[in-house]
Structures are given as structure tokens and as C-alpha cells.
Amino acid sequence: MDLRFVSSLIAVIDEGSMAAAARRGGITPAAVTQRVAALEAQLQVRLLLRAGRVMQPTPECRVILPRLRQLLRDEVALKRDLQAEVLQGALRLGAISTVIGDHAAHVVGQLRAAAPEVELQLIPGASHALFETFEAGGLDAAVIVKPGFELPKSMHFTCLAQQQVGWLCPVGTPCAELPLIRYSREAWGGEQCWQALQTQTSGPRVLAEMDALESIAQMVSDGLGWSVLPRWASMGRHAPDAVFTPIEGVYRELGLLSWSRDGRSPMLRLVQKILAEGEAR
């Protein structure tokens, strides 16, 4: 069985269309269609059906889908085992936006110097989305906010930084006179900030809610409102005319999510070292 065909099938299921799967795989929609057709011919069963504008797996496909996904995970693990003692190959690293803003240049530069044969793919996203992509095998590791639930034993979270959570208010204007710009409660860090805020005040007037810390900080600096945010390294650059007041004992924890089986991977150890150095600067 050609695992490229399996990958294309799963991409169609995940993305909902041949065209989207083609964009994800960097091939044409016709090639995706041909791959799925070849897989159906080999397995002698129909694997996809159309429901409106969306392609969905057939009942027969749903039966074997977990095993097909496992085949792709096994392929990734096999390649990783072959590269276990060398610093080469592709590294798909997910990261939240503040980490990319603070550390992307440092990570890319240090990796190029220490491991020039590593091909880094730096993929941005929210923590929950990166976690789901990692869980599905689409990432090798991710720098995310610590999940609020217990991880399975197959995964490992290494803390890189604890960022204070606090009030961000424009210089010269009391927060009480302005509306709240709320860090999205759908974000893991946003939910933590919202819980911290509720211990400080109740029923704030809300101007907007978003998962975009840099934009929130800029809006506060411009005097449009106030917020409760984690203090990341470059916050001051985005909010030069704002004052941060920490809430005692409340932190957003950032860390590297990886597979437990990769604990001895020299590539991930190097990435962890580079990220830790970046946080310490």
C-alpha cells in the first residue's frame, strides 16, 4: 500500500474536499482523485462519498480509518528512529504567535548554525489547534500554553517559561474608565486570564474579544481599553504607552509538547535548549 495514497485520502477527510487536500499536499486535485481511486481499487471498496459540498468517509472507510492514521504515524516514527542520532531531516515545529514573534529569528539562526541539515517548518497557530494537529501526527513538536487537562502518557510537556498574568492599562487612564478588550476565552491562555480577572472584578464592560495578544496590547496602548494578559517578552514593543500590573500568583506556562518516545531525540533536545536560551535572554 502506497502511504502517499493514504495521506491524500486522510487529507480529503480532514479538509473536506479534493481541492483543499491538494493544497495541503502540494499536488493537483486530479492527482488526489487518482490516488484515492487507486486506493479504492486496491482495497476493493468505496472510501469517499459527497455530502453537499463536503467529501466524507463511507461507513467502510470509517472502519479502517483509525488503522490508516496509525500507518502514517508509524511511518513518521520509523523515519524518526532512523534519524534518532543525527541532526538532519525535517522538523515540523508548531508555535503560538507570541513565541514566533519573540523567538523565530533566534531559533532559525541557531538551528542553521548548529544543524544546517535540519529543514525547519515553523507552523503558527493557537494552542488548542496546534495540540490537535500534533495529536493527529501533523507536527513533530509544538510550543504551546500548558493544557488544562492531563496529557496521555505518550505525550510530554516540558516547561520553558512562566509568564506573569496581569492588568494592562493605558498610561494616564484608569482601567475603570475604559471597556475591557478580552483575551479570547476559547484560547487556553485566555481562559486562564478570564478566571484571574473574575477574582479581581465582576461584570466588566466588554469592547471586543479576540485571540491576538499583539493586537490587544496595541489597542490598549492606543487608549481604546484595558485587558488582562500574560506578559510575554516583546509586550513592551506592542504596548509602549501601557502599564502592566501583575496579579500575584497567576502565570501562563509555556512549554514544548513532544512525544514521550522522542525524549532522547538530539534534534528536540537542541530545539528545547535554543528555546530555553531565548526565554532567558
Residue 203 lies in a domain: yes
119 and 180 together in one domain = no
How far apart are alpha carbons 178 and 112 in whole angstroms?
Answer: 46
Tell whether 70 is covered by a domain. yes
Arithmetic mean of pLDDT, 151-158: 93
pLDDT above 80: residue 159 = yes
- Examine the domain organization and report whether 213 and 266 are in the same domain: no
Query: Is 84 part of any domain?
Result: no
**pLDDT tens figures, 38-73:** 999 999 999 998 888 888 999 999 999 999 888 888
**How much is the pLDDT for 217?**
97
Check: CB of residue 94 under 8 Å from CB of residue 125.
yes
Same domain, 174 and 248: yes
pLDDT score for 85: 53
Do both 147 and 261 map to the same domain?
Answer: yes
Phi, psi of 86 (to 5 degrees): -130, 150
Residue 281: what pLDDT?
67
112 bridge partner residues: none
For 237-252, what is each residue's pLDDT tens digit? 999 999 999 999 999 9
Report which listed range, 24-33, 58-67, 80-89, is most confident: 58-67
**Higher confidence at residue 226 or residue 78?**
226
Q: Indicate if the pLDDT at residue 186 is higher than 70.
A: yes
| Residue 172 domain-assigned (yes or no) | yes
Percent of the chain whose predicted confidence (pLDDT) is above 70: 96
Q: What is the pLDDT, as a whole number, of residue 179?
A: 96
> Would you say residue 172 has pLDDT above 80?
yes
12 plus 146 within the same structural domain: no
One domain for residues 149 and 263: yes
Q: Report whether pLDDT(202) > 80.
A: no
**Is residue 81 situated within a structural domain?**
no
**209 within a domain of the structure (yes/no):** yes
With contact defined as beta carbons under 8 Å apart, do 250 and 164 qualify?
Answer: yes
What mean pLDDT do residues 207-226 have? 96
CATH of the domain at 106: 3.40.190.10
Say what the pTM is: 0.69
pLDDT (tens digit, 9 = 90+) per residue, 104-135?
Answer: 999 999 988 888 888 889 999 999 999 999 99
Residues 192 and 175 in one domain: yes
Q: Which domain holds residue 59?
A: 3-74
Report if residue 58 sits inside a domain: yes
- The larger pLDDT score, comparing residue 204 to residue 157, is at 157
pLDDT, residue 203, reads: 79
The mean pLDDT value for 254-277 works out to 87
Is 267:107 a contact under the CB 8 Å cutoff? no
Which pLDDT band holds residue 160 (cuts at 50, 70, 90)?
Answer: very high
Strands 54-57 and 48-51: antiparallel
Grid cell in block for residue 11: 487529507
Instruction: Identify whether 100 is part of a domain.
Output: yes
CATH number, residue 45: 1.10.10.10
Is residue 7's pLDDT more than 80?
yes
- With cut-offs at 50, 70 and 90, classify the pLDDT of residue 280: low
Q: How many domains does the chain have?
A: 3
The residue from 74, 101, 134 where one domain ends is 74
* 269 and 207, same domain (yes or no): no
Residues 174 and 108 in one domain: no
Same domain, 145 and 175: no
Residues 143 and 99: beta-carbon distance below 8 Å? yes
User: In terms of domains, do 206 and 234 share one?
Assistant: yes
Question: How far apart are the C-alpha atoms of 274 and 127, rounded to whole Å?
Answer: 20
Q: Hey, CA dihedral for 189, 121, 8, 84, is it positive or negative?
A: negative
Are 69 and 11 a contacting pair, CB within 8 Å?
no
Q: Which of 68, 23, 24, 22 lies closest to 45, judged by CA?
A: 68
| pLDDT score, position 86 | 57
pLDDT-based confidence at 82, cuts 50/70/90? low
Mean pLDDT, residues 215-239 taken together: 95
pLDDT band for position 81 (cuts 50, 70, 90): low
Which of 74, 97, 123 is at the close of a domain?
74
Note whether 139 and 276 are same-domain residues.
yes
Give yes or no for residue 169 having a pLDDT over 70: yes
CB-side neighbour CA atoms (13 Å) of 123: 18
SS (H, E, C) the chain: CCHHHHHHHHHHHHHCCHHHHHHHHCCCHHHHHHHHHHHHHHHCCCCEEEECCEEEECHHHHHHHHHHHHHHHHHHHHHHHHCCCCCCEEEEEEECHHHHHHHHHHHHHHHHHHCCCEEEEEEECCHHHHHHHHHCCCCCEEEEECCCCCCCCCEEEEEEEEEEEEEEEECCCCHHHCCEEEECCCCHHHHHHHHHHHCCCCCCCEEEEECCHHHHHHHHHCCCCEEEEECCCCHHHHCCCEEEEEEEEEEEEEEEEEEHHHCCCHHHHHHHHHHHHHHHC
